[in-house]
Structure 1
Amino acid sequence: MDAVATTPPMDQARARLREVFGFDDFRGVQPQVVARVLAGQSTLAVMPTGAGKSLTYQLPATMLDGTCVVVSPLIALMHDQLRSARANGIAAATLTSADADWRETIEAFRAGELDLLYVAPERASQQGFRELLGQARIALFAIDEAHCVSEWGHDFRPDYRLLRPLMDAFPDVPRLALTATADAHTRADILAQLGIPDDGLIVAGFDRPNIRYAIRHRDNPVRQIADLMRAEQGPGIVYAPTRAKVEALAEKLAAASGRPVLPYHAGLDPAVRAGNQAAFVESEDMVIVATIAFGMGIDKPDVRFVAHAGVPKSIEAYYQETGRAGRDGDPAQAVMLWGADDFARARQRLSEVPEDRRTGERIRLDALAGLVETPGCRRAVLLRHFGEEPPDQCGNCDNCLEAPGVTDATELAQKLLSAAYRTGQSFGFGHLQKVLTGVEDDRVVQRGHDRLSVFGIVAADEARLLQPLARALQARGALVATEHGGLQLGGEAKAILKGERRFEIVVPPPRERSRRRGGGGEANPVGDPLFEALREARRAIAREAGVPPYVVFHDATLREMAGLKPQSLSQLGEIAGVGARKLDAYGEAFLKVIRQH
């Protein structure tokens, strides 16, 4: 009897893992997910970014009889994963509007020559594609970014709702749905929408311990982000809220930092946008400034920081966007800069949301305000949002590393809210500040506000807290900006005025003169001539192959080479990340560099 046929499936899977990907064993919940796929069971796997979601279908695809059909939301993401799969020797293809070789792909699929076929949901939901699937053997349906199927998800895509009928037409083919960002409500909706049984849910921990989280008030975003760029020399992503701000910020950051910085947004010429994205993917030090249109299509493991120049849409969106940092497991930073006007605009936009979704969006915004305003551990707030019970401190966020002061500002909040109310709820913070601190300028006197009971009731020692207090009240919705810039009462304002709610705020720290480097140490052994020589060899191979350097090997693999200095192909093949295909293709080139040192 064939020895392979008698080997347990997971032993076969581990042998294939070593052969194809160069890893000795699985990570996290990967073995549970792979075991279910190999057993033909449908599964929803919720795994953090960087936990190796794609491996859970790519590996079985090399073992199962037939093709794994992967539904993915963006062409760029498909092409990124296609390069990585092919570099590992996996027979893969994409079927998209950007592919000139679609006829060859269809023929290869019909002939059973593909392990993986990537398609977009818009194509997958068409009748013609369903008919094509009937002409070959399908081993697995893999639905990437599965939160897009749920209206409760933060990135709803209606075409994902049309996948269930497609998969129902092939009842014997298992389904694997994958996402990094789904709370309990969204998870339940994904299971229902994709026809996956409740017992098929596997939830890994959401923690990304290598990411250092920091949230700061936005006072000078160019200076603040340029400081971060000086501390983190590797690739970075900066998210800005509008196309105009993307363009302006990219130009100013390039001038301030001397680093290569490019913009990315939907308004750019498609060729320019694609070129900027390709340049970023291939670079080892570029920073890209983008709207949230950028990122889901990027499978770049060596991003060293993600900065938000304004608040994201929700905690789910924040988690996903920051999760694009440090996917290789090396230290990375996530820095958010926020202002009260971010929350003012977000709360104004709530009126444009369909009424049946408004409550959910308001809850999301309040949760985001809680993350921004917390004096406690940022990571703990994030993980509790996703239903986990983390320790009270993580030791790797700004508040854990340098605990902020907290003060009971209930009485001062009552004074500020009273001033807003007594001046007619139509003046901005600057005017209210003058009234409260007793400044008799022309506008205050002309309006008669110098005769109000709230005039001059805030002493000098309290005045420094007025601005952070106003930001906190706006973040939590107790003060709401009008369309003309005035501040009016909202949310819990009445409860605060009546003394039914305490209102604590974080005391702003003195402005820092320097920033510590994030994530707990240097990601690369800077100054090691062998490591730098290996990186240079990687660049040359990547240029010749027309792929980004990380597709050849990750930095972690090069670090292990520099440390162990293997002298033979067999020794090199023992290093994590060196699979059979890469050993054969690149092994001698890297051994030559090691021998020279």
Structure 2
Amino acid sequence: MFPPPPPAARDCLTRIFGFADFRPSQGAIVGALCAGQDVAAIMPTGAGKSLCYQIPALVRPGTALVISPLIALMQDQVRALTGFGVRAASLTSADPADAQARTRAALERGALDLLYVSPERLATPAFQSLLATTRIALVAVDEAHCVSEWGHDFRPEYRLIRGVLDSLPNVPRIALTATADANTRADICANLGIDPANMLVAGFDRPNITYRVEPRRNPRAQITALLQKHPQASAIIYCRSRAQVDQIADALAAAGFPALPYHAGLDAPTRSANQARWAAEPGQIMVATVAFGMGVDKPDVRLVIHLGLPKSIEGYYQETGRAGRDGDPATAVTLHGSSDISRNRQWLDEIEDPARRAIEAERLAALLRFVEATGCRRVPLLAHFGDSPAPSCRACDNCLSPPRLSDLTEPARKLLSAVYRTGQRFGIAHLTDVLRGQATPRVNDLGHDRLPLFGIGADLPKTAWAALARTLEAEEALLRDADHHGLRLGPAARAILKGERSVRVADSALAPRAKRERRRDRGTPADSSDPRFERLRALRRELAVAAGVPPYVIFHDSVLHAIVAANPRNLADLATIPGVGEAKRERYGAAFLAALGR
């Protein structure tokens, strides 16, 4: 369907960006855009989405227009591109008036390869007048899930983009995102005018990320232990509230960790300063609400911790995807408690549109299936996005160290019977009272103390019944009413009630206070402690400070690892290392060779 990339695109890939060949899916997208075709690209973080439009921007005549939601993201992209010798600029409210004037002048005389703007600026009459006199090579819509009302981060201003796209005839358009389920993908195509036949879904798996889920017991102690297992690692800790962000950040800072807070309650200069410091300095820890993250381009985040469940599996995937963007091993840990589900159910109650509420309820159910999984966690995670992963990934806690399981088939049948006998409209708290024989006023008033099953589950504690209910929800034997959250029988209930299907629950969920086995997870690359690697990092830091850019703009950690492994003797050897393009080799090559003792 898509033509191969032309020779000029391959030349740009090697000469400017320093890569020998395209990654899977990149070549098809680059070929399509170079040929003038529209594309919707759904690619996992770290798969090289940006190159898919940056290279066609260098091949096609004119200036590529890139629409992006965040100023920080645009600035990161522009810094990275200018580091490769590409003529790139942005027009944002953060740019001084004289810089904006220079950018407009460069655009008018055709001296820009790429221009980054926000959807709000795109919609202004002044900018559209500027576009009318400019030759546009292509239009790229980054973070395209923002255009969809079904997306987890819908932004109404993204709906303004379509009119501008349609005013540019014969200009190819590309929509890019890492996070989009079937509903969101269809909405992206419809709202940006892209034929669904031109959609390329490259998969959602991030094989370098190890996923772990743990009951939340002592959050500060658990976070401290995780940070100690990943010393000097850049990290993000997501919290559910501003107050929690401040508490955790203060506690970590008092314990000697380089922790910074980020949430909407902080003034803009403080947020900007904290983000800049986190991006520029290695080993920094950002403690944040979900206000932090979209467009984060820091490649060497080794650890992402969720102190509670996000609202949906899309949000979880997007936030954990900020780990390991450079392809090196990273870890995503979720610390969850029973209150998380109640909080998310309350959030569902606040959604007035029934169709939207039903979709969000399914997304929350998908997240629950991930959290309660007793097998490979990638299976429910990737299945939600339409992928069909192998039954074992060898990169999640359950695969690395399978949990001990208890057979709770008979209690499951009792719980399902209780759901049915009480009218399929009560939550687990009331059902537990009935099963454990607790004659509460509500149980007595409803006459549930006279049911034959009253008291037949007194041998199990409340925590076990709650864990069993979560497992049955995850297996779709129980469904939760989107309006009142009462439990009802699901499609898998019949097989359990008839004895055709067993139910097993992890012992750690049944006894949340028990000490869980230590999990093995992937560490940092073996050469991180190599003295040559440390010398290269120190040099990179000096160059970054002198240039006023984050260190990864000079070279990613993955490039430094490759340099250490290759041990180049001269500039010609350095040219063979992925990520060392022509401009960077000329600018930094001699200094890095000297740091190696060459």
TM-score by length of 2: 0.88
Gaps of 5+ in 2: none
Q: CA deviation at 1:141?
A: 0.2
**Alpha-carbon distance between aligned partners in 2 of 1:142 and 1:448, rounded to the nearest angstrom:** 63
CA contact (8 A) 1:478 1:489 kept: no
Q: CA deviation at 1:40?
A: 0.8
CA contact (8 A) 2:211 2:332 kept: yes
- SS of the aligned residue for 1:566 comes to coil
**Alpha-carbon distance between aligned partners in 2 of 1:572 and 1:543, rounded to the nearest angstrom:** 23
Q: CA deviation at 1:51?
A: 0.5
Question: What amino acid is the match of 1:340?
Answer: S
Change (3 A) 1:151 1:482: closer
5 Å matches for 1:147-546?
147-233=145-231, 234-256=233-255, 258-353=256-351, 354-409=353-408, 411-413=410-412, 457-458=456-457, 460=459, 465-469=464-468, 471-472=470-471, 489-492=486-489, 499=497, 504-509=503-508, 511-512=514-515, 515-516=518-519, 518-519=521-522, 521-546=523-548
Tell me how large the CA RMSD over aligned residues is: 3.4
- SS of the aligned residue for 1:139 comes to strand
In the other structure, the counterpart of 1:52 is 48
- SS of the aligned residue for 1:12 comes to helix
CA contact (8 A) 1:231 1:515 kept: no
**Alpha-carbon distance between aligned partners in 1 of 2:427 and 2:207, rounded to the nearest angstrom:** 44
**Alpha-carbon distance between aligned partners in 2 of 1:235 and 1:542, rounded to the nearest angstrom:** 17
Change (3 A) 1:434 1:387: closer
Q: CA deviation at 1:340?
A: 2.1
Change (3 A) 1:582 1:529: same
Question: What amino acid is the match of 1:518?
Answer: D
**Alpha-carbon distance between aligned partners in 2 of 1:150 and 1:74, rounded to the nearest angstrom:** 17
Q: Which of 44, 57, 70 is the aligned partner of 1:74?
A: 70
**Alpha-carbon distance between aligned partners in 2 of 1:482 and 1:17, rounded to the nearest angstrom:** 50
TM-score by length of 1: 0.88
CA contact (8 A) 1:404 1:506 kept: no
Q: CA deviation at 1:224?
A: 1.9
**Alpha-carbon distance between aligned partners in 2 of 1:348 and 1:224, rounded to the nearest angstrom:** 27
Q: CA deviation at 1:592?
A: 1.0
**Alpha-carbon distance between aligned partners in 2 of 1:478 and 1:341, rounded to the nearest angstrom:** 19
Change (3 A) 1:277 1:500: farther
Alpha-carbon displacement from aligned partner over 1:312-360 (angstroms, at most 9, x marks no partner): 1222221111111101010001111222221112222222212231221
Alpha-carbon displacement from aligned partner over 1:22-52 (angstroms, at most 9, x marks no partner): 1111111101010011101111111100101
- SS of the aligned residue for 1:392 comes to coil
**Alpha-carbon distance between aligned partners in 1 of 2:546 and 2:280, rounded to the nearest angstrom:** 12
In the other structure, the counterpart of 1:5 is none
In the other structure, the counterpart of 2:128 is 130
Change (3 A) 1:474 1:176: closer
Q: CA deviation at 1:74?
A: 0.8
**Alpha-carbon distance between aligned partners in 2 of 1:402 and 1:9, rounded to the nearest angstrom:** 44
Alpha-carbon displacement from aligned partner over 1:446-495 (angstroms, at most 9, x marks no partner): x9999997776445577773352355468779698999xxx984333999
Q: Which of 1, 4, 14 is the aligned partner of 1:18?
A: 14
CA contact (8 A) 1:240 1:246 kept: yes
In the other structure, the counterpart of 1:87 is 83
Question: What amino acid is the match of 1:589?
Answer: A
**Alpha-carbon distance between aligned partners in 1 of 2:497 and 2:520, rounded to the nearest angstrom:** 43
CA contact (8 A) 2:406 2:507 kept: no
Name whichever of 410-419 and 191-200 sits farther off: 410-419
- SS of the aligned residue for 2:151 comes to coil
**Alpha-carbon distance between aligned partners in 1 of 2:569 and 2:220, rounded to the nearest angstrom:** 47
**Alpha-carbon distance between aligned partners in 1 of 2:521 and 2:350, rounded to the nearest angstrom:** 39
In the other structure, the counterpart of 1:31 is 27
Q: CA deviation at 1:130?
A: 1.5
Name whichever of 153-162 and 471-480 sits farther off: 471-480
**Alpha-carbon distance between aligned partners in 1 of 2:463 and 2:38, rounded to the nearest angstrom:** 57
**Alpha-carbon distance between aligned partners in 1 of 2:517 and 2:592, rounded to the nearest angstrom:** 38
Question: What amino acid is the match of 1:251?
Answer: D
- SS of the aligned residue for 2:524 comes to coil
Change (3 A) 1:402 1:170: same
5 Å matches for 1:133-148?
133-148=131-146
Change (3 A) 1:514 1:407: closer
Change (3 A) 1:526 1:540: same
Change (3 A) 1:451 1:285: same
Gaps of 5+ in 1: 1-7
State, as a whole percentage, how many aligned pairs show the same letter.
51
Q: CA deviation at 1:499?
A: 4.3
In the other structure, the counterpart of 2:565 is 563
Change (3 A) 1:143 1:444: closer
Name whichever of 471-480 and 135-144 sits farther off: 471-480
